[in-house]
Amino acid sequence: MMTRNSKIETLLHKLSSGNPEDQQSAAGEIRLLARQNNGVRLAIAEAGAIPLLISLLSVPDSVTQEHAVTALHNLSICEASKGSIISSGAVPGIIQVLKKGSMESRENAAAALFSLSVLNENKAIIGDLGAIPPLVTLLTEGTPRGKKDATTALFYLCISQGNRGKAVRAGVVPTLMRLIKEPEHDILDETLAILGLLVSHTEGKAAIGAAGAVPVLVEVIGSGSHPSKEKAVAVLLEICGGDRQCLVEAEKLGVVGQLVDLAQNGTERGKLKAALLLELMNISMEQGGSYKQRRTQNSSEKWAKT
């Protein structure tokens, strides 16, 4: 009976054979093996599979390409392999598959980038190599699973401040707004989480405001899940800070009652954000002042007096 290590060696020999049929079948078997557990993943990586799989990302055969990118994704689940995949130069090939591969390959490439971007040291590398625009494209063109993987990858990448401007310039904000307005909100929390990162960036805040975010966010605050409501309030607070027109628009759309409820029944963070936004509206309605001028006031007490 062939041992695990001898089987891996046989598969690697096929990968390096130059025979397209052998390469396709071997990549497919490694793809399946790498699903098992971290011990198997580590053994495959240590045997030298990563560079061989990377070389298959550019082959013309779409099935081989799909096996290779999915195998790399499966190997990347092991924390010890993430650095090896990056240092072996996998990212440009993965991005090329994300751009030009079959839909299955593109979505698995997005999953690989999401897995690799979990490590902070990889975020800037992946963003600088051009991963963000094709991830934004997949948000529009992908299946629900592909959109979820693309959204998760974008969230992790945008944790890095340097990637936020790249995402805005790639058109992620209007794309996220369209996703939020879709009837099925399978990735609502993820899209709002990305907006929560982008709104702290100058370009991001401007883009969110320009995309007509206020009615979209107010709708989420009125009908979303509790976590979604709190995320939407946090974004609305940022874009309305010091902007009386924005505050008036939100108030006219009927957000006040929902904010009062959240200020009373949300998490500690949710209560604080809702109370601050209520204070902004209170100041705007009573005096036309700005949030920055009155931020030191106790928001909960202020609203309780009205």
Instruction: Kindly state the DSSP code that residue 182 receives in the 8-state scheme.
Output: S
Task: For residue 81, give the nearest of 107, 136, 119 by alpha carbon.
Answer: 119
Is the separation of the CB atoms in 124 and 160 below 8 Å? yes
Per-residue pLDDT of the chain (306 residues; tens, 9 = 90+): 468 888 999 999 999 998 999 999 999 999 999 998 999 999 999 999 999 999 999 999 999 999 999 999 999 999 999 999 999 999 999 999 999 999 999 999 999 999 999 999 999 999 999 999 999 999 999 999 999 999 999 999 999 999 999 999 999 999 999 999 886 668 999 999 999 999 999 999 999 999 999 999 999 999 888 999 999 999 999 999 878 899 999 999 999 999 999 999 989 999 999 999 999 898 877 765 443 444 434 444 444 433
For residue 131, give the 3-state DSSP assignment. Answer: coil
- How many helices (H) and strands (E) would you count in the chain? 22, 0
CA–CA separation, 303 and 236 (whole Å)? 18
Two tokens, residue 20: 């397209």
CA–CA separation, 179 and 159 (whole Å)? 20
CA–CA separation, 287 and 305 (whole Å)? 15
Residue found by looking up tokens 């800070």 in the block? 241
CA–CA separation, 245 and 257 (whole Å)? 19
Is the separation of the CB atoms in 212 and 194 below 8 Å? no
**Tens of pLDDT, residues 28-70:** 999 999 998 999 999 999 999 999 999 999 999 999 999 999 9
Return the CA Rg of the chain.
Answer: 24
CA–CA separation, 206 and 254 (whole Å)? 23
Is the separation of the CB atoms in 182 and 140 below 8 Å? no
Is the separation of the CB atoms in 131 and 98 below 8 Å? yes
Q: Which residues contact 221 (CB under 8 A, 6 or more apart)?
A: 229, 232, 233, 236, 255, 258, 259, 262
What global pTM score does this model have?
Answer: 0.88
**Tens of pLDDT, residues 88-123:** 999 999 999 999 999 999 999 999 999 999 999 999
Instruction: Tell me what pLDDT residue 303 has.
Output: 43
